Amino acid sequence: MSKQNNKTYFIHPEGWKFAGVLFVCSMILLFLSMGIIIVSISFFLTFFVLWFFRDPERNTPQDPNLIISSADGKVCLIDEAYPPKEVPVEAEKMKRICVFMNVFNVHVNRSPVQGVVEHIIYKKGQFLNASLDKASDKNERSSLVLNSDNGSKIVVVQIAGLIARRILSFISSNYQINQGERFGLIRFGSRVDIYMPLDAIEKCEVGDKVVAGESILATLK
């Protein structure tokens, strides 16, 4: 369930806009007797959109030394890399763990740590396949810089994919965020890169399926 403005939702509010349009179209097609197959497809798309924007509750481990997954999906890359150039952090390599989300995954993103949001930087870009390494540099993205309670600097980058055309942020700079708290959403297929100190110890492998707000990606020293 999604919580925004002290309200609780089973479906994220973003989903109702798309589902509403599709539902109206479905009813028009039904009224015009456009055929059972066409009408059925339209209603199926309506319910698929609602399902896509589902936002289940998660049981998040609370530990300042843990890096929790920010996204549902599959770990597609673990390496050392520089954060995006527009991110105001020291120009040094960090450990990076990337999680790719397909259209069947929950797309609400959660904070990997508890701490203070120092910066949120949005950058326009292309819409390449988000599973490609070059998507980190070329695609539309939004970067979240966190000063964790552990004292470590953590950078979370939401990257738009082939279908995704909009990245949403629920928070702003100087916000005190909890571990596992929702901070944003990417619509329709995308990727999240999490940058952490080089001495962080990864607890996952490429190919692992992870759950936002629950799966442990790494531990901090």
Catalytic residues: 190
DSSP structure string for 149-194: TTS-EEEEEEEE-SS---EEE---TT-EE-TT-EEEEE-SSEEEEE
* CA-CA-CA-CA torsion sign (16, 18, 21, 22): negative
Contacts of 44 (CB under 8 A, 6+ apart): none
Contacts of 27 (CB under 8 A, 6+ apart): none
